[in-house]
Structure 1
């Protein structure tokens, strides 16, 4: 007599003689927090502070490299360690392990597929993460897709709790250090920019007035003072202009700023727009009134003094003879 039996699809795979109990939702959530949320907290912190850092700066690159290291460590913990030891760090602490339906350990690619499939758990308004609360085998959508289950197993003999505590401390230190470094560097940068704006707003017009003004009776002294207000790069251009003035007799020229605005500011550079008025002539009856608009670039020298690095005339001087 021959007996034929039909096995259900789930029973065709070999099963363990004594199956470990299924892991509870709380244990899985705790392991996920250690394995994933801890790393994501570090990445989120690094991303936020990196946004405040100047792009492509040394600080920005240090945050980027640190984030890459964190991602690598998370991948090793989630994908490589389980294939070697049977556990990720979080699962070892909670005493759970990912298994294939037949009870065997999953490989790296199946674990990678499972982690990618967790996007479905999130995309479904997080319903997939809660699915184990009522699914008979306590599986998420990712488990259903990757054909995996999570079981409660004996914890490894290693002192995994101390390792997890060390990881928590390290993550906290990285976050605190990133925030402190960002605050220090960015705050100092912002304060330096604010100081630049305040200094240029106050001293910029005076520097330009002194550089452009000179009197016939003190021509050489005024020219020397003007040269001391410029950078080494701009000084030859100013000297050439002064030479032309000397060749024409050196008519008294006085300027004053009537309005100004700081266009740009950095810790060591600035740019300002000025509307100038002035008068030219050696005798009262020959005075000509002048108006001009200029854009001036400033640089801070090694002694902390602001110097004119470039001056561009946007509106050429217009002169009106007194009495007309």
Structure 2
């Protein structure tokens, strides 16, 4: 008896959909330049000009805020838009997209981790970035780790080239504006410092001479004038010294500066400066006249557009010699 076996095999009802072609290395490099290098250039420019701005000043905060906005825009374009719109700006321009190995769209977290994994491509002396040139599936080290591929896809219907051009122009203008503003502010700051230096060289010795000099016959008027030449913070110290003079009976005191030297930057700002002065003077009446020499450091502050003494430190104690000696 012979048995008959049915060996018929069901044929597939439809063919598997072929995956899009793998993206070329130049297309990937171009998309990376638009999506990443452009933003990095803007952030680097802002960081550089922020370095020259006064720390935590309004200009520094402006640059830091602008750099943060640039990073957020770059992150949204690089990680969020591909998940919501299917493309980042650079990939849309070049007609490529990041997918999983089976052709599905890569999600936000996979794209984020993939970009972090690009550090491996960079750490390996940039070999990972060149690996797609000879890899059969044109993958970087990050693609190998995250099991992703980059494939050529149809470009979106909207005019991506014009949008990219506007982004490039905006980035260039932002960098130029940051550099120009930094130069303008720095130039004005240097002008203000030069003006402050000129004013202190001219006015500083006269202010100190007037503050330290007084006549016994006009003691109260001279003391009041001296107090008007000081800042609110230093005035109590000067008043205490004046009271000590009054308690000792008071005598005429006349000082003048024989030499002065402005301390170099950063002691000079548009609103502050420091100066060393060699002082000479005479104390007492004609029959009991004493000559005085002293060296002081004086810190000046600008108050209501007028220079005032913020502090006076005696570096070399006054030496008195009897007249004729």
Q: Report the TM range for the smaller structure's normalisation.
A: 0.7 to 0.9
Partner of 1:315: 316
SS at 1:26's partner residue?
A: helix
Distance in 1 separating the partners of 2:252 and 2:79: 81
Partner of 1:7: none
Are 1:216 and 1:282, in contact at CA under 8 Å, matched by a contact in 2? Answer: no
SS at 2:321's partner residue?
A: strand
Partner of 2:48: 48
Cα shift readout 1:189-233 (whole Å, capped 9, x = no counterpart): 232223222322332122111221234466566445434433355
Partner of 1:305: 306
Which structure 2 segments of 5+ residues have no match? 6-14
Pairwise mapping of residues 253-264 of structure 1 onto structure 2 (< 5 A)?
A: 253-263=253-263, 264=267
Are 1:115 and 1:142, in contact at CA under 8 Å, matched by a contact in 2? Answer: yes
Pairwise mapping of residues 147-162 of structure 1 onto structure 2 (< 5 A)?
A: 147-162=147-162
Pairwise mapping of residues 101-116 of structure 1 onto structure 2 (< 5 A)?
A: 101-116=101-116
1:288 aligns with 2:290: yes
CA RMSD after TM alignment: 2.5
Partner of 2:280: 277
Pairwise mapping of residues 181-192 of structure 1 onto structure 2 (< 5 A)?
A: 181-192=181-192
Structure 1 length-normalised TM: 0.86
Are 1:91 and 1:97, in contact at CA under 8 Å, matched by a contact in 2? Answer: yes
SS at 2:34's partner residue?
A: helix
Pairwise mapping of residues 156-171 of structure 1 onto structure 2 (< 5 A)?
A: 156-171=156-171
Partner of 1:4: none
Partner of 2:69: 69
Distance in 2 separating the partners of 1:60 and 1:235: 34
How many matched pairs? Answer: 309
Partner of 1:24: 24
Are 1:101 and 1:149, in contact at CA under 8 Å, matched by a contact in 2? Answer: yes
Are 1:193 and 1:265, in contact at CA under 8 Å, matched by a contact in 2? Answer: yes
Distance in 2 separating the partners of 1:237 and 1:26: 73
Partner of 2:268: 265
Distance in 2 separating the partners of 1:90 and 1:58: 34
Residues 244 and 109 of structure 1, relative CA distance in 2, 3 Å threshold: closer
Distance in 2 separating the partners of 1:55 and 1:168: 29
SS at 2:106's partner residue?
A: coil
SS at 1:132's partner residue?
A: helix
Partner of 1:9: none
Pairwise mapping of residues 94-105 of structure 1 onto structure 2 (< 5 A)?
A: 94-105=94-105
Residues 230 and 16 of structure 1, relative CA distance in 2, 3 Å threshold: farther
SS at 1:23's partner residue?
A: coil
SS at 1:19's partner residue?
A: coil
Cα shift readout 1:59-87 (whole Å, capped 9, x = no counterpart): 21222222222211211111111122221
Distance in 1 separating the partners of 2:245 and 2:169: 70
1:92 CA displacement? 0.2
Regions of 4+ moved over 6 Å: none
Partner of 1:11: none
Partner of 2:125: 125
Distance in 2 separating the partners of 1:102 and 1:244: 92
Partner of 1:137: 137
Structure 2 length-normalised TM: 0.85
SS at 1:63's partner residue?
A: helix
Are 1:16 and 1:102, in contact at CA under 8 Å, matched by a contact in 2? Answer: no
1:240 CA displacement? 4.9
